[in-house]
């Protein structure tokens, strides 16, 4: 598989951050045949090797959960599918208001959006995690968000390779 083919397939695994796939390929981390586990490990190793500011950029590329982009229909196809699978596209007015309040507080406190791998979670699970994590300190929450980004990447890689 060529570099451009690899980046085309896996460049969106880390939200709007194709440089992760590009670097993993360039650094020889990608070894055929492509299997979900090794590709995930390679991309996560590359993500972990980035600078703090680059990881922050990846976090900032993520949309708010049930936020303005979702309402405006401007999520990536993957994010839209993931949020819909958790029921975040079917919130009551009260639930939407709670998510909006938490999103606002979270971004104010941490400087990046709340990130959680929503696959397999209900909106109630997500809200509970949101409320529990919003009291974390900056360093803990940054690491937690990075871990969640890696989980999301794993789900996306598995989906891509299942369809290939």
pLDDT tens for the chain, residues 1 to 164: 999 999 999 999 999 999 999 999 999 999 999 999 999 999 999 999 999 999 999 999 988 776 554 444 554 667 666 666 667 777 888 988 898 999 999 999 999 999 999 889 988 999 999 999 999 999 999 999 999 999 999 999 999 998 65
What is residue 72's predicted lDDT score, i.e. its pLDDT?
Answer: 44
Q: C-alpha angle with apex 105: 99 to 108, nearest 5 degrees?
A: 135
User: What is the sign, positive or negative, of the torsion defined by CA atoms of 68, 53, 158, 30?
Assistant: positive
Q: Would you please indicate which residues are annotated as catalytic (active-site) residues?
A: 62
């Amino acid at each position: 598989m060529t570099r451009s083919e690899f980046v085309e397939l896996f460049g969106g695994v880390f939200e709007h951050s194709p440089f992760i796939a590009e670097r993993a390929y360039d650094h020889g981390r990608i070894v055929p045949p492509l299997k979900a586990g090794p590709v995930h490990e390679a991309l996560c190793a590359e993500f972990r090797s980035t600078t703090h500011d680059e990881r922050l950029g990846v976090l900032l590329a993520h949309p708010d959960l049930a936020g303005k982009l979702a309402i405006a229909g401007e999520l990536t196809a993957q994010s839209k599918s993931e949020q819909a699978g958790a029921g975040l596209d079917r919130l009551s007015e009260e639930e939407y208001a709670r998510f909006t309040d938490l999103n606002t507080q979270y971004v104010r406190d941490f400087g990046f959006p709340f990130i959680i791998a929503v696959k397999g979670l209900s909106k109630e699970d997500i809200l509970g995690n949101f409320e529990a994590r919003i009291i974390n300190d900056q360093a803990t929450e940054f690491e937690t968000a990075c871990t969640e980004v890696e989980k999301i990447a794993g789900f996306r890689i598995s989906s891509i390779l299942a369809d290939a």
